[in-house]
Amino acid sequence: MCGIIGCVGREDETLDVLVHGLSKLEYRGYDSAGVALSGDRVDVCKKSGKIADLRGALESREIGGAAGIGHTRWSTHGPPTDANAHPHLDCTGDVAVVHNGIIENYQSLRDELVSAGHSFQSDTDTEVVPHLIEDALADGADHEAAVREAIAQLEGSYAVAVVLSGDDTIYAARNDSPLVLGLGEDAYYLASDVPAFRDHTDQVIYLADGEFATLHADGWHVSDVDGDEVEKTVDTVEWDPEETGKSGYDHFMLKEIHEQPRAIRQCLRGRVDELTGSVDIGDLGDLSPTGVQFVACGTSYHAALYGAQLLRDAGIPAQTFLASEYATAPPPIGDALVVGVTQSGETADTLSALREARKRGARTMTVTNTVGSTAARECDHALYIRAGPEIGVAASKTFASQLTALNLFSLGTTRTSDSREIIGALRDLPSNIQAILDESNAEAVAETYVDSGAYFFIGRGLQYPVALEGALKMKEITYKHAEGFAAGELKHGPLALVTDDTPVFAVVTGDGEMARKTIGNVKEVEARDAPVVAVTDGQSDVERYADAVLEVPETHPQAAAMLANVQLQLVSYHVADKLGRSIDKPRNLAKSVTVE
């Protein structure tokens, strides 16, 4: 998704700060990038392609100024060309604008502007903004009033930042798209996401919808739509800048897979008491919902499936909905809670489902990684997963932390007789995951099956979401066909796809009825000559039917799913690596999907 960075107050370094900030936003996914700096005039440089292409274009340019804005674009209106890259200018070249989100009424605004004589250079919705500002300036408005007037005409979602020639101020506004200010010692920053300026400051202010900010070398100011001052809280970011580096790993994703033991420890810290078998999740423990509806997308949806299963096992009716389909869901019953699982806290589909739930009168909660995110601010309650920043576009450690947090939620809101065993298993998760990371043969399995035509993943109960997640990871980062199925469903259709060129990854832990039934499905696969890769703790005899085995330590069933997932993450990573894929930034994907 698009990213925004802005900086004012470091005249000699503004450009470097912007380009460095853009490189920190690369993880969100993008296809073009650009910067604008304001001095006596506004200088713009923008390029389709990577930040390296922008750096190349900047080498031949003399460009500087006290206030600057930069942008990474992920195309929504028009292809990734230089012309469609942000910043966009008005007809005079005095106003430069970057924008995240979608302006829904852009076509009518554009038609009016074109009939009034404005000339457009791009296919984007964003370009209406500088032209609207130009019109307001021509009518005599001062800079701030002109930007406000333009913003007031926009419908849809936006985080907008503007610089104007002869003015070392950044003007910014947000609606439904994140924007955060950074307060440095000698400079001020703004960005769509903290990593963009975290190297310069840990003091941040999260803007809310409808707020308008001005940043100047001498200070900052936040006001509401009417121009009245808004008192803002300054928050301190708790993670280190190094957490956003690769620390010697070839890819962020591999680093983040290896960070899972630490992420889980952070999630558990201060929240569990193994002796008493109790969990302390603060006020969330008193929610006592009569039922829970989960809404989420992608990997977070798989975490939600797992969470709903935990609650059902503990006697609470729980359902899971794809956030984008929530409009068709039955209304929450009684004192139900609607829980949005979203690591970013900014996913448009999930935010929209949570808003729909509030309209239907439900209490809402988010399970999120991002303090200050829209989901955290809009929901009645928030459970933080504390995974630290995740840069790889494909979610890895945040999934592990979501499952951990959902275990805490289930234990904290229900009475489960084996809570002490579960807490013990959660406590052992970091060392069990570490053992897998140290000893996994996933790379050898990847080597064996790297040229396969497709990959299938099967599991039952809590292993079903893990099978779905295994397939999602495989397709996202390898670009190969992969599907996850409930093990019992295979024979109802998908079995027709199974051949000797389609390895089937079967997640089988424990030796109970579920395991026995999945082994029955494994035999069906084996009989069709498909290679079987068993992900198992060795308690059953699934290994007899497997061509390869990925071992996980024996533990409580709720934790076993999380261990199996690590092996599947590693297989996908190594297949993608052998295929030379862009693992941290897979094609067409974005880290935070802020459009519906």
d(C-alpha 368, C-alpha 376), whole Å: 7
Least distance from ligand F6R to the Cβ atom of residue 127, Å: 27
Instruction: Please identify which residue in 18, 45, 173, 297 interacts with ligand F6R, judged by CB under 6 A.
Output: 297
Q: Is 201 in the site for ligand F6R (CB under 6 A)?
A: no
Known active-site residue 45: no
- Strand positions, DSSP E, 258-306: 272-273, 278-279, 292-296
Least distance from ligand F6R to the Cβ atom of residue 206, Å: 16
Spell out the SS3 assignment of 118-139. CCCCCCCCCCHHHHHHHHHHHC
Q: Is 338 in the site for ligand F6R (CB under 6 A)?
A: no
State the Cα torsion 418-421-427-433 to the nearest 10°.
-110
State how far Cα 518 lies from the chain centre.
32
Residues 406-445 that bind ligand F6R (CB under 6 A): none
Q: Is 299 in the site for ligand F6R (CB under 6 A)?
A: yes
Contacts of 268 (CB under 8 A, 6+ apart): 404, 408, 426, 427
Least distance from ligand F6R to the Cβ atom of residue 322, Å: 11
Pick the piece of the chain touching ligand F6R (CB under 6 A) from 107-115, 181-189, 201-209, 297-305: 297-305
Q: How many residues bind ligand F6R (CB under 6 A)?
A: 15
Q: Is 374 in the site for ligand F6R (CB under 6 A)?
A: no
Dig out the tokens for 582 from the structure: 């862009």
Q: Is 394 in the site for ligand F6R (CB under 6 A)?
A: yes
Q: Is 555 in the site for ligand F6R (CB under 6 A)?
A: no
CB of 400 closer than 8 Å to CB of 565 = yes
Q: Is 14 in the site for ligand F6R (CB under 6 A)?
A: no
Instruction: Please identify which residue in 48, 75, 157, 344 interacts with ligand F6R, judged by CB under 6 A.
Output: 344
Pick the piece of the chain touching ligand F6R (CB under 6 A) from 269-277, 296-304, 521-529, 560-568: 296-304
Least distance from ligand F6R to the Cβ atom of residue 375, Å: 8
d(C-alpha 12, C-alpha 64), whole Å: 8
Question: CA-CA distances (angstroms) from residue 144 to 125, 351, 452?
Answer: 21, 30, 59
Instruction: Please identify which residue in 175, 350, 364, 452 interacts with ligand F6R, judged by CB under 6 A.
Output: 350
Q: Is 343 in the site for ligand F6R (CB under 6 A)?
A: yes
Instruction: Please identify which residue in 72, 169, 192, 347 interacts with ligand F6R, judged by CB under 6 A.
Output: 347
Residue 45: DSSP 8-state: E
Between 70 and 298, CB nearer to ligand F6R: 298
Q: Is 569 in the site for ligand F6R (CB under 6 A)?
A: no
CB of 350 closer than 8 Å to CB of 327 = no
Largest CA distance in the chain: 81
Between 336 and 468, CB nearer to ligand F6R: 468
Q: Is 483 in the site for ligand F6R (CB under 6 A)?
A: no
Judge if the upstream peptide bond of residue 494 is cis by omega within 30 degrees of 0. Answer: no
Adjacent-strand bridge partners of 71: 4, 34
CB of 160 closer than 8 Å to CB of 174 = yes
Q: Is 567 left (phi over 0), alpha (psi -120 to 50) or beta?
A: alpha
Binding flags for ligand F6R, 460-479, as an x/- string (CB under 6 A): ------------x---x---
Q: Which residues are part of the catalytic machinery?
A: 2, 591
* Residues that bind ligand F6R in the complex, under the rule CB under 6 A: 297-300, 342-344, 347, 350, 394-395, 472, 476, 592-593
